[in-house]
Chains A and B, each alone.
Chain A
Amino acid sequence: MAEKPIILVIDDEDAMRDSCSQILAKDGFRAETAENGHVGLEKARDLKPALALIDLKMPGLSGFEVLERIKAIDPGIIPIVITGYATVESAVEAMKKGAYDFLPKPFTPDELRIIIRRALERRKLAFEAESLRREKKVMEENFITMVSHQLRSPLVAVQQYFEVILAGMVGSVEDTQKDMMLRARERLERLLHLINDWLDMARISRGQIVDKLKPLALDKLLDRQVEFMKPLALEFRVGLELRPAEGPALVLGDEQSLEQVFSNLITNAIKYNKPDGSVTITIRAEDHTILTEVTDTGIGISREHLPLVFDQFYRVSRREDQKLKGTGLGLAIAKKIVEAHNGSIEVASELGRGSTFSVRLPKAEPEDK
């Protein structure tokens, strides 16, 4: 680094500020000082120091308060507390509040130097780790987007030709030709689904959901899903009902991925049902979680198959039913998403009677913003 690292000394004692400044300047740092907490925080904001030496016992804003607020200003600033009353308790409390280390008064110049050097090393490592993490994330995201595009484009181009031919726009098509082309188009459709699902799997493994968690009204999300699924339920002659919880059902979640989870569960519940069967979605608030149960009156899953339903590429029904198209990744994706939310998903089932999928998601507490 060409620029001198800035070290901010926040201490109400003139002598402390002067001696620290001298030692630091001699070692090639730019020392800045503040005689109280307020000035210190202001300087932290303006100067963006690398480290801050904070005296715990100051009139006005205490060192502990400065410690807490400085983290909010810039989490990159490494705070070190200076304490004249170096008791274990105050040191422990300071460390708990995010201090990197503590320096009991009186200290020698060498003691200061050692701690400063270690803290700067730590800051450098933290920076490097952070920039590597970001770089990796961007690369992964771009990679997935590009792979997605490269894999999909040729398939979509072929589908586009089928659309035009099937619409009779480039000459008439005989029935047998049409039939084969429809089948070919169907196979392509499945392959596209598989690519999408596979990319979803890749993406979720990369833990990108965690960054997007925020408080979310699960009841509203499910209400929209149910509305959206009504035509499908009608097609399969299955009743669809949502029983919301009393009061709000606020979870900490990522909207789009949770939509994917419940869309998958509800679609399965409809498709693997019996005619005139029903699908019931119940939301219940528990102590720290919101429980959503999707219950169907369908074909059910046998006991030996039950532990396997969340496995990749596992499908309960192996028959080539046109209506039951899927990639075998849906539930595996659902499980990954729910677990990325720190939630859980379970299934209970009785062959011939139906299944219940239970999803537990962490409640959003009022302080989660």
Chain B
Amino acid sequence: MNKSPKILVIDDDPDFRAAVTPILKSALYDVVMASNPQEAKEKILVDKPDLILLDIMMDSLFDGFSLCHAIKTSAEFKDFKDTPIIFVSAVKEIAGSRFQFKGDEEGMVGPDDYIDKPVKPDDLLARIAKFLKK
């Protein structure tokens, strides 16, 4: 591949988007941003990212999960169902229990990987590289 892989960062926090950009640029990735699920959907179809970093908790907890599920299963995004999605989140607990993604139980398709905020630059780049090498 001659072109640099493109990464879509979906997060409603402008500071996170600002901070994560230099990390991704340092590894020569193209970076595209979206601050809400609607914008994210448009960017996926227009910019065709190679990998997606998705914040779980935007306005509500449901946003991240349902967006992920939509990308992985809906006809609209059928060209992107194999695009790796990495959940990024500062949420450690949800409603009283330690956070665990229980996609199967909810009948939802989960992410390919998942990383805690604040992300360690090396860790993030290593995880991204793992998916994009193939």
**Could you tell me which A residues sit within 8 Å of B by CB distance?**
141-142, 144-145, 148-149, 152-153, 156-164, 167, 169-170, 196, 199, 203, 208, 212, 256
A156 to B19, CA, bound (A): 11
Q: Which residues of A contact B13 (CB under 8 A)?
A: 153, 157
Q: Is the CB of A156 within 8 A of B93?
A: no
* Given A160-B19, A163-B119, A163-B120, 11 further pairs, Cβ under 8 A: A141-B95, A145-B61, A145-B95, A149-B57, A157-B19, A160-B20, A161-B19, A167-B122, A169-B23, A199-B93, A203-B96
Contact present for B92 and A196 (CB under 8 Å): yes
Q: Which residues from 58 to 72 on chain B have a C-beta closer than 8 Å to any C-beta of chain A?
A: 61
Residues of B within 8 A of A153 (CB): 13, 90
Asked if A169 contacts B98 (CB within 8 A), the reply is no
User: Which residue of chain A has the shortest Cβ distance to B92 in the bound complex?
Assistant: A196
In angstroms, Cα B122 to Cα A162, docked, is 14
A164 to B121, Cβ gap below 8 A? Answer: yes
26 contacts between A and B (CB under 8 A): A142-B95, A144-B96, A145-B93, A148-B91, A148-B92, A148-B93, A149-B90, A152-B92, A156-B16, A156-B117, A157-B13, A159-B118, A160-B16, A160-B118, A161-B18, A162-B118, A163-B19, A163-B118, A163-B121, A164-B22, A164-B121, A167-B121, A169-B23, A170-B22, A196-B92, A208-B96
B38 interface residue per 8 A CB criterion: no
Task: Please tell me if the beta carbons of B121 and A157 are within 8 angstroms of each other in the complex.
Answer: no
Q: Which residue in A141, A152, A212 is a CB contact (below 8 Å) of B90?
A: A152
| Chain B residue contacts of A149, Cβ below 8 A | 57, 90-91
Residues in B neighbouring A256, C-beta threshold 8 A: 97-98
> Which residues on the A side are within 8 Å of B119 (C-beta)?
160, 163
What residues on B are CB-neighbors of A145 within 8 Å? 61, 91, 93-95
Residue of chain A at shortest CB distance from B57: A149
Provide the residues of chain B in CB contact with A203, threshold 8 Å: 96
What A residues does B120 contact at CB under 8 A? Answer: 163
Once the chains are docked, how many angstroms separate the CA of A167 from the CA of B22?
Answer: 10
Within 8 A of A (CB), among B83-116: 90-98
A19 → B minimal CB distance (Å): 51
CA distance in complex: A167, B121 (Å) = 7
Please report whether the interface of chain A is mostly helix, strand, loop or mixed according to DSSP.
helix
- Expressed in whole angstroms, the Cα–Cα distance for A142 and B122 within the complex equals 34
Interface centre among B13, B18, B118, B121 (most CB of A within 10 A): B118
A208 and B96 alpha carbons, distance in the complex (Å): 7
* Residues of A close to B118: CB separation below 8 A: 156, 159-160, 162-163
Give chain A residues whose Cβ lies under 8 Å from the Cβ of B90: 149, 152-153, 156
B2 at the interface (CB under 8 A from A): no
Q: How far is the CA of A256 from the CA of B97 in the complex (A)?
A: 8
> Which single member of A144, A156, A157, A164 contacts B23 (CB below 8 Å)?
A164
How far is the CB of A262 from the nearest CB of chain B, in Å?
15
A157 touches B15 (CB 8 A): yes
Residue with the greatest number of chain A CB neighbours at <10 A, chosen from B18, B91, B96, B121: B96
Within 8 Å CB of B20, what residues of A?
160, 164
Residue in chain B with minimal CB distance to A206: B96
| CA distance in complex: A170, B117 (Å) | 19
**How far does the Cβ of A180 sit from chain B's closest Cβ, in whole Å?**
18
**Residues of chain B within 8 A of A212, CB atoms compared:** 97
By beta carbon, the residue of chain B nearest A142 is B95
Chain B residues near A164: list those with CB within 8 A. 19-20, 22-23, 121
Chain A residues lying within 8 Å of B93, measured Cβ to Cβ, are: 144-145, 148, 196, 199
Cα–Cα distance between A157 and B92 once the two chains are bound (Å)? 15
| In the complex, chain B residues 39-84 whose Cβ is within 8 Å of any chain A Cβ | 57, 61
Complex CA distance for A167 and B27, rounded to whole angstroms: 13
Closest chain-A Cβ to B129's Cβ sits at a distance in Å of: 16
> Are B95's CB and A157's CB within 8 A?
no
Q: Which of B61, B91, B93, B120 is the most central at the interface, judged by chain A CB atoms within 10 Å of its CB?
A: B93
- With both beta carbons as reference points, the residue of chain A lying nearest to B22 in the complex is identified as A169
Instruction: State A162–B16 Cα separation when bound (angstroms).
Output: 11
Question: Which chain A residues border B57 with CB–CB below 8 Å?
Answer: 149
- Assembly CA distance A159 to B19 (angstroms): 10
Across-interface contacts of B94 in A (CB, < 8 A): 145
Tell me the complex Cα distance, A167–B119, Å: 12
Q: Which residues of B contact A158 (CB under 8 A)?
A: 15
Contact B26 A160 (CB under 8 A): no
Pick from B16, B23, B98: contact of A167, CB under 8 Å: B23
